[in-house]
Amino acid sequence: MLTCATGILSNLTCNNSRNKTLVTQYGGVEALIHAVLRAGEKEDVAEPAVCALRHLTSRHQDAELAQNAVRLHYGIPAMVKLLGQPYYWPVVKATVGLIRNLALCPTNQAPLREAGAIPRLVNLLLKAHQDTQRHGSSGQQTYQ
């Protein structure tokens, strides 16, 4: 059920400002953070939930409200923690995009630092570089 609900919310909020606003106004940010916390290492829940949060924190009238809601509902430490888990790249990619959106809000920058986002992002960058070197220039994996 959780997998389906998070996947549907991710799909509904992709490039749809009206749905982003509605999900934000109905408390979707808090619900998605709780879904990520309940998911643990289940990437089939974490990835669509983080994608939906990434969508909610960008390109609509309530994006800043959603960025603040992630912080206010204690989502920043949980999202940063996803960067330190075993690397399931779709979750990592979604999380990096979400953190990018959260960092646009000045009041989120200190909590991101305090949660350890900077060293984890640097480690990801180093890991991605090492993987690229290991697999040569024809590597299939991209880190966008």
Span 94-107, average pLDDT: 98
CB atoms near residue 132 (< 10 Å): 14
Task: Confirm if 29 and 68 have CB atoms less than 8 A apart.
Answer: no
Write out pLDDT tens, residues 2-16. Answer: 999 999 999 999 999
Element (H, E) at 55: helix 43-56
Q: What is the pLDDT of residue 138?
A: 52
pLDDT at 70 over 50: yes
pLDDT confidence tier of residue 129, bands split at 50, 70 and 90: confident
Q: Which residues touch 78 (CB under 8 Å, ≥6 apart)?
A: 33, 36, 37
Q: What is the pLDDT of residue 136?
A: 74
Least confident of 18-32, 50-64, 72-86: 72-86
Cα distance between residue 1 and residue 39, in whole Å: 12
Q: What is the pLDDT of residue 144?
A: 42
Residue 24: which of 13, 11, 37 has the closest Cα? Answer: 13
Average model confidence (pLDDT) across the chain: 93
Residue 20: which of 47, 46, 55 has the closest Cα? Answer: 55
